[in-house]
Structure formats: structure tokens, C-alpha cells
Amino acid sequence: MIVAAFAYLNGLHEEYFLDWATLYGMAGNKDAEREFKYIFRAFRQGKHYNLYAWIVSRNRYEYFDGRIRYYQNKADREEQQKHM
């Protein structure tokens, strides 16, 4: 689902994604292909499952609704928790 979210948010057409997924063995059977089609249909209908993906053109993570997802690495989180 995360790979499908990346493809959808970056504007990759569903058919191109399915071809790519088949080529790399992610959608090699009809059940997997049907699942990816269901996921894309759910995305188009507004079901976003609170997912985010790297937006290549903007060089940042974004949620489906356009909010920016800020990333903080583990060392910074631990340092911040020490000071609380």
C-alpha cells in the first residue's frame, strides 16, 4: 500500500504502476493486481488511510491532504526527550 501511495501522490498513472509492479514481481498474479486496483480506486474516492509519501517534485514528504510530514531522526528525538 505504501508503494501505491507513493505512485498515486507523485502522479504516476495506475496502468504504468501496475506494469512496473508486475515487472518487479509485486503484482504477478490476478489477486495482487486486483488488490492494487482496489487501492487506487479507494485513493480516488478519498480514502487515504493517513498515508504519506515522498513527493519527488517538491523534495519532501506529504500526506494525501497536502500537509507536510516533518521527519525527525532518532538521535534528535532522543536528545529532545532527554531535555523534557
In the predicted structure, residue 40 carries a pLDDT above the cut 70: yes
C-alpha radius of gyration, the chain, whole number: 16
Bridge partners of 68, per DSSP, are 62
pLDDT tens, 59-76? Answer: 889 988 888 888 777 777
Q: Which of 28, 17, 15 is nearest to 53 (CA)?
A: 17
Give me the residue spans of the domains in the chain.
Answer: 2-82
Per-residue cell: 1 = 500500500
- What is the average pLDDT across 42-56? 87
